[in-house]
Amino acid sequence: MKPRVDWVLFTASAGLIIAVCIPMALAPERSSAVVGAMYKWIAGDMGLVYQWMVVVSTVVLAVVALRKTGSRRLGGDDAAKEFSNLSWMSMLFCAGIGAGIMYWATIEWAYYLDQPPFGAEPGSAEAQEWAATYGIFHWGLSAWCLYCLPTVAIAYPYYQRKIPYLRLSTALTGLFGDDIANRPLGRIVDFIFIIALVGGTGTSLGLATPMLAACVAQLFGIEQTALLEYAVVLLAVALFAYSVFRGLTKGIKVLSDINMSVAGAFALFVLFTGPTLFALKHGTNSLGLMVQDFIRLNTWTDPVLKTNFVEDWSIFYWAWWLAYGPYMGIFVTRISRGRTLRELIFGMVGFGTLGCALFYITIGNTAMWMDLEGLVPARELVAAGQAEQAIASVMAAIPWQPLPLIAFILVTFIFVTTTYDSASYAISASATRQLQAGQNPARWHRVFWAFALAVLPLALMFLGGLDAIKSSVLVVSLPLLVIGVAMIVSLFRTLRE
Ligand code: NM2
């Protein structure tokens, strides 16, 4: 059967994006207040649920991987792998990790050094050790479990029961039957997926745009204007629209391969031209801290001091990963035929964690060192709300200019592209009927979503501020908590069949 566009889902999702973005652009102040109130409620009152979701996901994945179920192969016992291990890993890494890592790896420590966790004294030795560590945790094993759970929950029934839909609702077939995608419940679930992804990617481009603009301004010695930011968005959209137009193997795979090598080389370059020993010592130290305090980090709710550290950081991050989770599930399912569940879980969580840690250990520690040595006033800039300036200054302070600054801009652009092309792919796959394994959604449809994904970040830039950007992701991730629980029950049912 030929793939067809699911017009109900398509219209509802595109309509909601427009309905939300217009008031944000027209009445930024009022929208900002509403968004702020929602942020407080979700992070404050619902935060605990997010933390439990992380713990439960980790345990479920460990159980599935370590028991006999781990040896089940996606697509049947003799299914061959479509992509080599290296391409598979770079595709999944580049799909799930975007410009956000370049942003946060460079300056996340600055927030933690000044407002440390666990009641540590700001600027103290203890604060510094945690500052070098906490970012790795927020992009580490626990976080990757939020990606991996929906992947297993979608991939297993998709290949095992040969479901003709690659959608989030596929993860619920064990509970509600194979035809769930055609029923109102399935439609609602798939609608939630699209909106969650729009919110999640909105945060990424919303952060990346000012950062890229600041770096371009630094490179050419020009001023960072709104016009420059729009030019950046336009260029990014053109790039990922082209990539998704080319399709999965020609566009997305080629770019991901390039991305992995350029980004990896950049991180290593920073390590070796920067304070190598400082970075490696902190990296090793962080590893110890994280392993030793793994449970503590996952269950710390700060009930006594109530510093808001958990709400402002861990909960925000879990919401962000959660919002991307189903999309990762759909995308990684598409590229994982022929792998066993154990390979999928260990490969995805292990490689993802290591990849993210690399950026924090090299770039993050270098930036912290520059600040501590008085080379770049990174903390001062961050405290003044000029995080992107801090990033641009750090990048401009790396030796061998202008090479590192250009490389940083290039890597960030490719990261944006490889996240958004796969996101456009996943949304168009979701809003397509009868998509069999191996088939692709229509070209125009993929390109449409590439453009639609840029609308929310543009509106968020009108609102301005980190809180507005953080809020969108908290709001959209909320329904995914409920779906997450249903997904786990459904997965165990299907595994038992
Ligand atoms: N996550 C991994 O911009 C990005 O890096 C997108 C962000 C969810 C925190 C992903």
Section 274-300 average pLDDT: 97
Task: Calculate the CA 157 to chain-centre distance.
Answer: 24
Residue 437: which pLDDT band, with cuts at 50, 70 and 90?
A: low
The whole-number pLDDT of residue 19 equals 83
Which tokens is 117 given?
Answer: 């966790």
Mutate to test the pocket of ligand 1, among 50, 106, 204 (most ligand atoms within 8 A of CB): 204
Q: Which residues contact 471 (CB under 8 A, 6 or more apart)?
A: 35, 36, 38, 39
Q: Between 224 and 480, whose confidence is greater?
A: 480
- Ligand 1 centroid–CA 81 distance in Å is 27
Which tokens is 479 given?
Answer: 């329904």
Mutate to test the pocket of ligand 1, among 54, 94, 149, 320 (most ligand atoms within 8 A of CB): 320
Among 344, 314, 316, 350, residue whose Cα is nearest residue 331: 344
Section 55-65 average pLDDT: 98
pLDDT in tens, 63-90: 999 999 999 999 988 999 988 998 899 8
- Ligand 1 centroid–CA 178 distance in Å is 31
> Alpha-carbon distance 335 to 91, whole Å?
8
303: amino acid identity, one letter: P
Residue 94: which pLDDT band, with cuts at 50, 70 and 90?
A: confident
Among 483, 446, 436, residue whose Cα is nearest residue 337: 436
User: What structural domains and CATH numbers belong to the chain?
Assistant: 4-496 (1.20.1740)
9: pLDDT strictly greater than 90:
no
Largest CA distance in the chain: 64
> Per residue, what are the HEC states of the chain?
CCCEECHHHHHHHHHHHHHHHHHHHHCHHHHHHHHHHHHHHHHHHCHHHHHHHHHHHHHHHHHHHHCHHHHCECCCCCCCCCCCHHHHHHHHHHHHCCHHHHHHHHHHHHHHHHCCCCCCCCCCHHHHHHHHHHHHHHCCHHHHHHHHHHHHHHHHHHHHCCCCCCCHHHHHHHHHCCCHHHCHHHHHHHHHHHHHHHHHHHHHHHHHHHHHHHHHHHHHCCCCCHHHHHHHHHHHHHHHHHHHHHCHHHHHHHHHHHHHHHHHHHHHHHHHHCCHHHHHHHHHHHHHHHHHCHHHHHHCCCCCCCCCHHHHHHHHHHHHHHHHHHHHHHHHHHHCCCCEHHHHHHHHHHHHHHHHHHHHHHHHHHHHHHHHCCCCCHHHHHHCCCHHHHHHHHHHCCCCCCHHHHHHHHHHHHHHHHHHHHHHHHHHHHCEECCCCCCCCCHHHHHHHHHHCCHHHHHHHHHCCHHHHHHHHHHHHHHHHHHHHHHHHHHHHHHHC
pLDDT in tens, 161-175: 888 778 899 999 999
- Atom from ligand 1 closest to the CA of residue 321: 8
- Ligand 1 centroid–CA 218 distance in Å is 25
- Ligand 1 centroid–CA 67 distance in Å is 30
> Alpha-carbon distance 268 to 257, whole Å?
17
Other CB atoms within 10 A of residue 186 CB: 22
Q: Which residues contact 357 (CB under 8 A, 6 or more apart)?
A: 136, 139, 140, 283
pLDDT in tens, 403-419: 999 999 999 988 888 88
b/e 9-24 (16+ beta carbons within 10 angstroms → b): bbebbbeebeebbeeb
User: 8-12, 32-36, 286-290: which range is least confident on average?
Assistant: 32-36
Which tokens is 77 given?
Answer: 């016992």
Radius of gyration, alpha carbons of the chain = 21
Mutate to test the pocket of ligand 1, among 321, 322, 412, 416 (most ligand atoms within 8 A of CB): 321
pLDDT in tens, 328-382: 998 899 899 999 999 999 999 999 999 999 999 999 999 999 999 999 999 999 9
Q: Chain-wide mean pLDDT for the chain?
A: 91
Of the ranges 108-112, 177-181, 304-308, 475-479, the best mean pLDDT one: 108-112
- Atom from ligand 1 closest to the CA of residue 323: 8
- Atom from ligand 1 closest to the CA of residue 138: 9
Ligand 1 binding residues, C-beta < 6 A: 96-101, 204, 320-321, 324, 419
- Ligand 1 centroid–CA 204 distance in Å is 6
Residue 248: which pLDDT band, with cuts at 50, 70 and 90?
A: low
Helix axes 341-359, 253-273, angle to 10 degrees: 40
Mutate to test the pocket of ligand 1, among 92, 94, 97 (most ligand atoms within 8 A of CB): 97
Nearest CA to ligand 1 atom 8: 321
The whole-number pLDDT of residue 1 equals 63
